[in-house]
Amino acid sequence: MAKAEPYENNIGFSDRSDVPIEPRISEQWFLRYPKTKEALAVVRDHLIRFFPAHWEKVYAQWLENIRDWCISRQVWWGHRIPAWYRKSQTPNSTSQRGEEIYVGIEPPPDPASWIQDEDTVDTWFSSWLWAYETMDPQTRKKFYPTSVLVTAADIIFFWVARMIIAGLEFKPGKSSKIEDNIPFHHVFFTSIVRDSRGRKMSKSLGNSPDPLELIDKYGADGLRFGLMRIAPTGQDIRFDDRQIEEGRNFATKLWNVARFRQMHGPSSPAPPIDTQVLSINGIEVLARLNETIVAIEDAYREYQFNVVAQHLYRFVWTDYCDRFVEAAKTEIFGPNEAKKHAALAVMDYVLSAVLRLLHPFMPHITEELWSLLGLGEGSIQFAPLPDEMWFGHRDIASARRAVSIIYNTVEKIRNTRTDSEISATEKVRVRVDSDDPVLRSEAPIVARLANMEEVIIEKSTGYSGYSGYSAAGLIIIERANVDTVAERERLDRQIAKAEEQLATTQRKLNNKPFIDRAPAEVVEEHRQRERDFSAQLAKLKQVRESLK
C-alpha cells in the first residue's frame, strides 16, 4: 500500500427514525410490462390526446426504453405481495431458487404449510387499476372509458402510462376493441406552483404559503382567479403575491361595476334589447362579448384555462368597465329616458353573461351578485352558459368602425395630454380637426372617456395649443399658456416619425416584386397607409409652421 488517508463520506439519515440509511440487498419481484406497443400507438394515433401535446414525446421516450417494473416495497402498509413460500424455505434468500413458490390472488389450498412474502406492492401497482376498478359493472358500462384525466406531468410514467397499459391488458370495456378499453380520451397536465426561487413547494422547505392566510388577505375568488390567470397550460409558475392581488383587484372591479348598475334601478333577468336601435357603443360591447364567448369556447376545448381567464379579465376590465360603462354614463345621466333604459338593458345582458362565464373561476362573488341583481331564479351554477347574440340585419361593421375611431381619438387625446405634461385632473378643451358626423354626435362621450371639459369636432382654420394626431384627424388641446419652444420640439419629433413611416410605406410600394406578388387587398392597404401618412404629415407641418 502506497498511501492511506482519511476520507469523509456523506451518509443519508432517515427523516423518520434519524438513523443512517444503509443499502440492503434482497430479492425483489418484477413485472414485465405488457401491451407497450399498443400503449404507444393509442397516443401516437390520438385515440388518447395529451394537453399540452409536447408531453406525448416524453411519454413515447419512456415507453420505447421501458424496463421491467420492480413492484416490491419494504414497508408495513399496502397490499402484500401475493406470493407464498413453503415453510421449509426462507423468503428473500437464494435457497428458494428452483424450489416451489405459489403465486395467486387467493392463498394456497393448505395455507398452514406456506409463508406469505412480507413485502408489499408498489402503491402504483394498485393505482394503475383506478380508472375502472373504482366502478361497479353497471357504472363502468356507462362511463368507461372516462372523458379526461387531470394530473401532473411528473407522474406520466408512474400513473398515466400504467393506467393505459392496464386498460389495454385487462380489457374492462364493453367490448374487446382498443377504443373501448383505453382508460380516458384526454389527459390534461396541470401546472406546478413553485416558490419565487423556482423550488417545488414542500413542508420540509417551509416555502408553501398558508392558503387560509391568502384567502383572508385577497379573498377566495381573488386567489382562485389570480392563480388560474397566470398558470399557462403545462408550464410551472412561480408564486408571487402580486399576481393574487390582481385577482382581488379584479373581484373589486366586478363588484363595483355591478353595484353601479344596482344604483340605477332593478335589473331584468331577460332585458329587452332591440338591436335595431342600439347605440354604437352598445353594439361594440355586445360584439366584443360574442367574440369573447367564441374565444373562451375554443380555449376550453384545448384546456387552456389561463387563456379563458385572460379573455374574461380583458373583456370585463377594458371593454365593459373602462369603455362601455364610462360611455354609457353619458346616456344614463342624460335627459333621454329611452337611451338610458337601452344602456341599462345592455348592462343587464352583459353582466348576466359575464357572471355565468366567470362562475367556474369565481364562484362566491358571482353567486352573490347573481342573487343581488336578481338576474335569474335559483343558483347561478344551474344557469346555462350564454350564447352569442344575433344582431339581425343591423350593419354592425360600420358601427364598430365608428367606435374604433372614437377609441383611437380618445387614446390619442390622452397621449397628447401626457406628452404635453398636462395634469390628468386639469379640465381643458380639445379640438379635433374632423367633419366626421358620427364623431361629432358622440363628442360628449369622447369628452367623458378622455376626461376633458369639452371636445369640439370641426374642421379647424387655426391652431393654438398642444397637438397630436388620431385616425379622426389632428388633435389640438387648447390652453391659455403654451410653451411654444417645447411644443415645436415635440412636433419635430412627430414629423420625423411620420416621415419615416411614410418613407417605409413608399419603399414597399416602389418595390415591383411586392406589387406583383402581394394580394390586391394588401397592396391597397399600403396605398391607404401612404395617403394617411401623407395627410398626417401635412397637418403636422402646418401646425409646426403656425408656431413660428
Give the H or E element holding residue 189: strand 184-190
> Going from the N-terminus, what domains does the chain have, and what CATH number goes with each?
30-81+119-190 (3.40.50.620), 211-382 (1.10.730.10), 396-546 (1.10.287.380)
Q: What is the mean pLDDT of residues 368-378?
A: 93
C-alpha cell at 53: 401535446
C-alpha cell at 95: 435457497
> Is the pLDDT score of 54 beyond 80?
yes
> Is the pLDDT score of 346 beyond 50?
yes
pLDDT at 296: 97
CA distance linking residue 232 with residue 520, whole number of Å? 39
C-alpha cell at 80: 402484500
> pLDDT-derived band of residue 467, with 50, 70 and 90 as boundaries?
low
Q: Which residue blocks in 302-380 are alpha helix, DSSP H? A: 305-314, 326-332, 337-358, 363-373
pLDDT at 466: 47
Q: Is the peptide bond before 145 cis (omega within 30 degrees of 0)?
A: yes
Q: Which residue blocks in 278-323 are alpha helix, DSSP H? A: 280-301, 305-314
Neighbour-count burial for 352-365, b at 16+ CB within 10 Å, e otherwise: bbbbbbbbbbbbeb
Q: Is the peptide bond before 6 cis (omega within 30 degrees of 0)?
A: no
> Residue 80 pairs with which residues in a beta bridge?
120
- CA dist 457 to 176, 338, 407, 410, 439, Å? 75, 25, 15, 13, 7
CA distance linking residue 162 with residue 125, whole number of Å? 9
SS3 label, residue 16: coil
pLDDT at 470: 53
Q: Are 356 and 380 in contact (CB under 8 A)?
A: yes
CA distance linking residue 473 with residue 409, whole number of Å? 8
pLDDT in tens, 287-297: 999 999 999 99
pLDDT in tens, 157-212: 999 999 999 999 999 999 999 999 999 999 999 888 888 888 888 777 888 888 89
> Is the pLDDT score of 97 beyond 60?
no
C-alpha cell at 192: 406546478
> Residue 73 pairs with which residues in a beta bridge?
120
Predicted TM-score (pTM) of this structure: 0.76
CA distance linking residue 355 with residue 353, whole number of Å? 6
- State the burial class of residue 212 (Cβ atoms within 10 Å of its Cβ: 0-12, 13-18, 19+): exposed
Neighbour-count burial for 432-462, b at 16+ CB within 10 Å, e otherwise: bbbebebbeebbebbbbbbbbeebbbeebee
pLDDT at 354: 97
Quote the Cα angle for 77-78-79, to 5°: 140
Pick the closest to residue 473 from 524, 518, 435, 425 (CA basis).
435
> pLDDT-derived band of residue 299, with 50, 70 and 90 as boundaries?
very high
SS3 label, residue 312: helix
Comparing 82 with 421, the larger pLDDT belongs to: 82
pLDDT in tens, 209-248: 888 999 999 999 999 999 888 887 767 888 888 889 999 9
> Is the pLDDT score of 487 beyond 80?
no
> pLDDT-derived band of residue 98, with 50, 70 and 90 as boundaries?
very low
